[in-house]
Structure 1
Amino acid sequence: MNREYHQWHSPRLGRSMELLVFGHTGLPVVVFPTSGGRFFEFEDRGMIGALADRINGGHLQVYCVDSIDHESWYNRRVSPRWRVARHAQFDDYLIHEVVPLIRQKNRNPHLVSLGCSFGGYHALNVALRHPDVFTGMLSMSGAFDLANFLDGYHDQDVYFNQPTQFLPSLGDPWFLERYRRNTWVFGTGWDDQCLGQNQNMDRIFNDKGIPHKLFVWDTWNSHDWPTWQQMLREYL
């Protein structure tokens, strides 16, 4: 399997960032790690192995990015305003540094965002914010409620980085038209701690008329890597 390690100094984040690329061609997929996870998490947890045949066969090319969650949402040492501002810088890094690398290496016109647990939040948020860049999204056990991270703080940047807030009232046809032609898949389980958040997102998507799929698995320990490996094989 083609495996590439990339590292560069991000001017938007003011720090070195790392990522891994798996595969040589195929549908490009950006993978976000779980809460505070690292760019090598997906490989270490057997998720790349679960996709090995599709990657080696040229059907998928996977880009595993690093997390800065401990500098943004999870950073209790700074004010909530700085937490969301740091996340905005991360979004800028993704669109203006990671996506150009993908487009340099891969000419496939599609691009999928993917994540488990809090990585599911990142996958959904970036795909909603940039529906002209990302054409598909797969969230497994996604955690979409950011209220606990902000100590009651709210501003415009908070609003536009919380899909549960901005999506219900969104009326811009530019966004809605793209949402309705892109692909959205949510996977969760009956015993998943994030089941309610996924059901809520399902209701919001239904209310906005956005075609999507919500799959609720009848399994034990659905908020864990073995289940996510199975979901990955099923939906990607």
Structure 2
Amino acid sequence: MALLQCQFFAESLGVQATMNVILPQRRGRPPEGGHPVLYLLHGNSDDHSMWIRRTSVERYAEARGLAVVMPAVNRSYYTDMAYGPNYWTFVSEELPETARSFFPIAERREGRFVAGLSMGGYGAFKLALRHPDRFAAAASLSGALDVYRMWDIREADMKLIFGKRSRIRGSDDDLFALARKRVEEGATLPKLYQCCGTEDFLYRDNIRFRAHAERLGCELTYREEAGDHEWSYWDRNIERVIQWLPLP
């Protein structure tokens, strides 16, 4: 496997952006259509380097011939911020276009996946539910899946990101509303994987989202076990996620 750190100018942010990329290393040309790719999103206090620094994701990806793209988005909740840069536009539009222009990775839905932890779990499900035509599967590890409730925990961040709490409910930043909307539209949703430790402060929110998704009839794989909001839990579970991905 090759590990690359890439700095590039992001038009949507107006600044230099950074991503780490893991690429399968093989002789000759890459597979037709490019390597299957996982967009792997970091949590609220992390950056593009943390998945590499704290887990064995490179080894897990190598076993499946999977490319991994890990961008930095600061404390944005993968959102076009009310008082800050347009991180949703960056991660949903500019990042995949830029990554494909630099690296031989898949463009078609069946070879594209997204996952993340905590804030990144929210971002992964938001990408999957806003753009179900772009991803074959999405995974949330200990996801901050209810940003309306997160207001009570991270009020300063939430004000910068969303402006007013009242604008979240029912919007495209509300995962509960997004899931219902896509099902009512009859959209073909990506396969969803959700896990959370039973000692995690986000456990109750994850249970509520699981129940909501099951009522809607979403194809959701759910796993829980003892664990807190910690890297030992995420290392175990990103291996499980990568094994679960429906690679072409």
Q: Does TM, scored on the shorter chain, surpass 0.5?
A: yes
Unmatched 5+ stretches in structure 1: 75-80
Aligned counterparts, 1:150-161, within 5 A: 150=159, 152-155=164-167, 159-161=171-173
> 1:63 aligned to 2:69?
yes
Please name the residue that 2:96 is paired with: 99
Distance 1:83 1:50, change over 3 A: closer
Please name the residue that 1:122 is paired with: 123
Deviations 1:148-181 (A, max 9, x none): 02475333798111112343355552xx4321xx
Please name the residue that 2:187 is paired with: 177
RMSD value, Cα = 2.7
> 1:52 aligned to 2:62?
no
Unmatched 5+ stretches in structure 2: 25-29, 152-157, 243-248
- 1:199 and 1:157 map into 2 onto residues whose CA distance is 19
Deviations 1:182-218 (A, max 9, x none): 210001122121111111111121122111111111x
Distance 1:169 1:118, change over 3 A: same
Q: Calculate the TM-score normalised by the size of structure 2.
A: 0.77
Aligned with residue 33 of structure 1, among 34, 42, 52:
42
Distance 1:29 1:167, change over 3 A: same
> 1:192 aligned to 2:200?
yes
- 2:232 and 2:218 map into 1 onto residues whose CA distance is 29
Please name the residue that 2:179 is paired with: 167
Alpha-carbon contact 2:12-2:89 (below 8 Å) kept:
yes
3-state SS of paired residue (1:115): strand
Please name the residue that 2:22 is paired with: 22
Please name the residue that 1:139 is paired with: 140
Q: Calculate the TM-score normalised by the size of structure 1.
A: 0.81
Pairwise CA distance, 1:84: 4.1
Question: How many matched pairs?
Answer: 218
Distance 1:206 1:226, change over 3 A: same
- 1:118 and 1:166 map into 2 onto residues whose CA distance is 17
Pairwise CA distance, 1:95: 2.7
